[in-house]
Amino acid sequence: MAVTVVTGAVKTKRGATLGYLLPALLLIALFFIVPVLMLLMRSVLEPEVGLQNYKALLGSTTYLRVFLNTFLVAGVVTLVSIVVGYPVAWLLAIMPQKWSRIVLAIIILSMWTNLLARTYAWMVLLQRTGVINKTLMGLGLIDTPLALVNNLVGVTIGMTYIMLPFVILPLMGVIRTIDPAILRAAALCGAGKMQCFLRVLLPLSLPGIAAGALMVFVMSLGYFVTPALLGGTSNMMLAELVAQFVQSLVNWGMGGAAALVLLVVTLALYAVQLRYFNPARGT
């Protein structure tokens, strides 16, 4: 009798939990799963039934160049963001709380600024007659203006600026959880500053690096505005290709195929992150 009562209570609790989750599940299905399924259907049904869109997409050297450029830009931006963001996150973690809050507020404020406005600001700064080139020429460091826009350099600078908060925030959270006594113990055992960093601080902060790197890389793969304005046609990325298929060529089949390839790559990267850098596994 008691077992029956407990079983009924468990079922009632599960039913109540499912009732609470149902609105969220419906929202996810309506706005995420259904659109993806529609893209999948259009990619194999238009203009004819089959996998011709994927064959054309993966068999063309032009489209493959776009894929390679997308991964190149995403990789470079991720690497630069980690290199620049790590010391900033470390400083935020060790500096007095008052100053840390001020610097953190400035970083977060940059995230709230309109993306288009930030990108146009970098266009003004990086152009041949911009502030950066004029300053470098005024200091005598260069004789002619540097080409900082419509190339990989401009895209990297603009996207790194936008992506830095997504590296700094998770890294700062992980570094703050590291006990300073561990670093002091390493120093007492004779480890130098570089050894403390490479053998203690860096391994312990790997989950934050992995989380930030994955976030930046995935977001960079699907970025559109900044590469389109700072990169030009010679540095087209996959998101621009999808937009061109849909808006200019009205080719929903190819656009859906390109979007789904990007989605598969994103999910694969997320699976790798969960497999090798899952904090719950202690890695």
Predicted confidence at residue 202, as pLDDT, reads 84
Residue 270, pLDDT above cutoff 50: yes
What pLDDT, in 10s, does the model give residues 212-246? 888 888 888 878 888 888 877 667 787 788 877 77
Residue 283, pLDDT above cutoff 60: no
Residue 138, pLDDT above cutoff 60: yes
Predicted confidence at residue 83, as pLDDT, reads 92
Q: Could you give the percent of the chain with pLDDT greater than 70?
A: 89
- Secondary structure of the chain as H, E, C letters: CHHHHHHHHHHHHHHHHHHHHHHHHHHHHHHHHHHHHHHHHHHHHCCCCCCHHHHHHHHCHHHHHHHHHHHHHHHHHHHHHHHHHHHHHHHHHHCCHHHHHHHHHHHHHHHHCCHHHHHHHHHHHHCCCCHHHHHHHHCCCCCCCCCCCCCHHHHHHHHHHHHHHHHHHHHHHHHHCCCHHHHHHHHHCCCCHHHHHHHHHHHHCHHHHHHHHHHHHHHHHCCCHHHHHHCCHHHCCHHHHHHHHHHHCCCHHHHHHHHHHHHHHHHHHHHHHHHHCCHHHCC
CA distances from 27 to 17, 20, 137 (A): 16, 13, 55
Residue 175, pLDDT above cutoff 50: yes
Predicted confidence at residue 145, as pLDDT, reads 84
Residue 249, pLDDT above cutoff 80: no
| Dihedral Cα 202, 206, 211, 215, nearest 10 deg | 50
Among residues 239, 92, 219, the alpha carbon closest in space to that of 160 is found at 219
Q: Could you give the percent of the chain with pLDDT greater than 90?
A: 3
Residue 3, pLDDT above cutoff 50: no
Instruction: Supply the mean pLDDT for the chain.
Output: 80
Residue 1, pLDDT above cutoff 70: no
Q: Are 148 and 133 in contact (CB under 8 A)?
A: yes
| pLDDT greater at residue 37 or residue 80 | 80
Residue 77, pLDDT above cutoff 80: yes
What pLDDT, in 10s, does the model give residues 81-118? 999 999 998 888 888 888 888 888 888 887 788 888 88
Predicted confidence at residue 80, as pLDDT, reads 92
Q: Are 219 and 163 in contact (CB under 8 A)?
A: yes
Confidence label for 148 from pLDDT (cuts 50, 70 and 90): confident
Residue 5, pLDDT above cutoff 50: no
Q: How many CA atoms lie within 13 A of 2 on its CB side?
A: 0
